[in-house]
Structure 1
Amino acid sequence: MQAFCCHRAGYTLNQANPPVDTPVFIDQPCRTSGFRLLLRQVSNAHRATIDRNNMMKEKQAWFKPLLDNVVREMIKTGAIRGAAVEAAPIWGSPGNLLIAKVWDASNKSQFIWTIAGDNAVTDHIPGSLAANAQAAARHFALKWQMDADRLLQVAKNKAPAKDSDGNMEAYTSKLIGYAEALYDLAGRDDIWKSR
């Protein structure tokens, strides 16, 4: 429910994100001029609510199939077990990156952090390793950097093979790029608080 009240020439929004068809209630009497201003601002707020709802639908259209794929992969690899598995998107940048929690429905406290997207490798860590999505992102970045270093060591110690070396080097370079970009992203506190 959304309630507006007049305060001199403006209004305050007591609750945000109402459903589009929710009626707007004015909880304090207003002077005539204030009432006109209020109606204009209610109209703008209603438009903003519709825009917010459309944005949420677009975000859901992006993250729902990605989250479904992540859950399938976590079950397939044995990272999560159970008859019923649940997942929740925690942080995302549509089209780029999604950080989510996945857990067995019978034990929500034992979750795993997952990461996936066009600019990430699908991966997971135990929930106990990170307190929030930002810490999970930082952990994934460091993990990927260490994985890339291990791959480089394996490539150096291995007998040269034409096809596999090129693929391993390309994958390692890609992993390093993802790790560096994610680490930079994890260091930006402003984007983690606003989402």
Structure 2
Amino acid sequence: MTEAQQQQWIKTQYQVATKYLAEKGVVTQSVQVDESRYLVPILALWKLTSIDGNKFWVLCGDLPSDHSGVDVAPNAREALRHFSLKWQMQAENLLQAKNEEQNKFAHLLIGRADGLYKLFNDESLWQSK
């Protein structure tokens, strides 16, 4: 990807994240760019503040969009671990349902959760520049 394509991807993912929160009834006021992280074209992890002052980690990209309050993780790296563990638990619950569609989604979650944990665990991604 060119630099321009990467910037466009990041902009699009920001729009995906804010739309996702809006669908949950949360209107975004601002983004903390310095605490947000992107791994183009795989994922974007945004630290967003709503108009009522609540703060959220919002994950989107080539995986299911999801969000949690910032109290679950002090930084982006820990937020990835949080989503990984959250998705593992959700997948386990979906597998209990014995429903074919839920079973497919559970396996998608498991695969993405494993990928997130590998990213969390990769020291080279988290070294200070």
Please give the range of the TM-score, normalised by the shorter of the 2 chains: 0.7 to 0.9
Hey, what's the Cα distance between the residues in 2 that align with 1:64 and 1:88?
Answer: 14
**Structure 2, unpaired ranges of 5+:** none
Q: Give aligned pairs, total.
A: 126
1:61 aligns with 2:8: yes
Residues 1:171 and 2:105 are matched in the alignment? yes
Q: Given the two structures, how large is their TM-score scaled by the length of structure 1?
A: 0.59
Shift of 1:73: 1.4
- The letter of the residue matching 1:128 is D
1:98 and 2:44 aligned: yes
Name the structure 2 match of 1:183. 117
Q: 2:58 aligns with which of 114, 125, 144?
A: 114
TM-score w.r.t. the length of structure 2 is 0.86
Structure 1 unpaired stretches of 5+: 1-53, 156-164
**Matching residue's letter, 1:63:** I
**Hey, what's the Cα distance between the residues in 2 that align with 1:99 and 1:194?**
17
The one-letter amino acid of 2:85's match is L
Structure with the bigger RCO (C-alpha within 8 Å, sep 6+) is 2
Q: Is the 8 A contact 1:112 1:124 kept in 2?
A: yes
Query: Which is richer in helix?
Result: 2
Q: Which has the larger radius of gyration?
A: 1
Large movers: runs of 4+ above 3 Å: none
Aligned-partner SS, 1:137? helix
What RMSD, in angstroms, separates the aligned Cα atoms of the two structures?
1.9
